[in-house]
Amino acid sequence: MGIVIAAASGKGGTGKTSFCANVGVALCALGEKVLLIDADAGLRSLDLVLGMTDRLLFSWADVMEGRASLKEAAVQHPVVKNMRVLTAPAQAAEQTALGGERTAELLRRAREHFTFALVDCSAGVGSDITDFCSLADRAVIVATGDQTSLRSAQRMAAELAAEGQEDIKIVVNRLRLNMIRRGDQTNIDRAMDASGIALLGAVPEDDRVIACGNRGELLIMHPCRARTAYMNIARRLRGERVQLLEGVKGRF
């Protein structure tokens, strides 16, 4: 059986969608079979980051309602052949109407056919988010090193724990080395202390993440610090013993 990982964030702008896309691609590069699920109904963006806007015809709502099978709705990436993408419905109202047992059934099917399924949840706290996160095997909260983001992450972790999720980790994203040196941004150790959540990984700020996302290109094709950091996270998710920023220059 595969593993379902739900990615959440206490607030927007933390890079949660980039995390799902790039860790998903990294897992595929390591030989895993991956499903990416965009759970942000109405504001879906995973298709843009992956350059698949014109390819995704069915959403997970169609799968839940029986209008399409998971095989039909989950579209193969044009370059990464062992990765499929399942988009969210265009209307947020569909997410409110669905959930519960049907979400559980969708994730059960994902576990049967994929070694990893990454769910890109919407930002903030709500029943739609906790629905996916509570049914996932693990939850990853993506935050930046800003105090407001870390406080939101702490609150999100408390909400998910109250819903029964026991495996919660944090990824500190968009770390700026120059700001950390000046004391204007929290370093990794202080971020862990501020959030109170076990650390899965850290990703330095890298312009290539935004550039690739805007172009729908794969970051893994461009050697950079962020690519190395995402690959380290993917290896840790597979159970490998890897240092947080192995191969990444600079002290964070």
Q: For the chain, list the domains and their CATH numbers.
A: 3-237 (3.40.50.300)
At residue 251, the pLDDT reads 53
Phi, psi of 142 (to 5 degrees): -100, 125
Alpha helices in the chain (DSSP H): 16-29, 46-49, 60-64, 70-73, 92-97, 101-113, 127-135, 147-162, 177-182, 188-195, 207-215, 225-237
| CA distances (Å), origin 224, targets 10, 90, 219 | 27, 34, 8
> What would the DSSP string read from start to end of 16-75?
HHHHHHHHHHHHHHTT--EEEEE--TTS--HHHHTT-TTT---BHHHHHTTSS-HHHHSE
Whether 2 shows a pLDDT value over 90: the answer reads yes
pLDDT tens digits, 57-71 = 899 989 998 999 999
At residue 98, the pLDDT reads 60
Sequence-distant (≥ 6) Cβ neighbours of residue 66 within 8 angstroms: none
Least confident stretch, 17-21, 22-26, 32-36, 199-203: 199-203
**Residue (of 90, 252, 160) closest to 243 by Cα position:** 252
Residue whose entry in the numeric block shows the structure tokens 């990615």: 7
**CA atoms of 73 and 96, how far apart (whole Å):** 20
Sequence-distant (≥ 6) Cβ neighbours of residue 41 within 8 angstroms: 61, 88, 89, 90, 91, 92, 94, 95, 122, 128
Q: What is the pTM of this model?
A: 0.90
Q: Hey, which of 112-116, 154-158, 201-205 has the most confident mean pLDDT?
A: 112-116
Whether 252 shows a pLDDT value over 60: the answer reads no
**CA atoms of 213 and 208, how far apart (whole Å):** 8
In a 3-state reduction of DSSP, which class is residue 200?
strand
pLDDT tens digits, 91-142 = 765 555 566 788 999 999 999 999 999 999 988 776 667 788 889 999 999 9
- Edge-first strand listing for the sheet containing 34-38: 75-76, 83-86, 34-38, 116-120, 3-8, 138-144, 168-175, 198-204
User: Higher-confidence residue: 183 or 82?
Assistant: 82
Whether 154 shows a pLDDT value over 80: the answer reads yes
Confidence of residue 184 (pLDDT cuts 50, 70, 90): very low
Average the pLDDT over 172-192 and give the result: 64
At residue 231, the pLDDT reads 94
Least confident stretch, 60-74, 85-99, 196-210, 219-233: 85-99
pLDDT tens digits, 13-30 = 899 999 999 999 999 999
How far, in whole angstroms, is CA 229 from its chain's centroid? 14
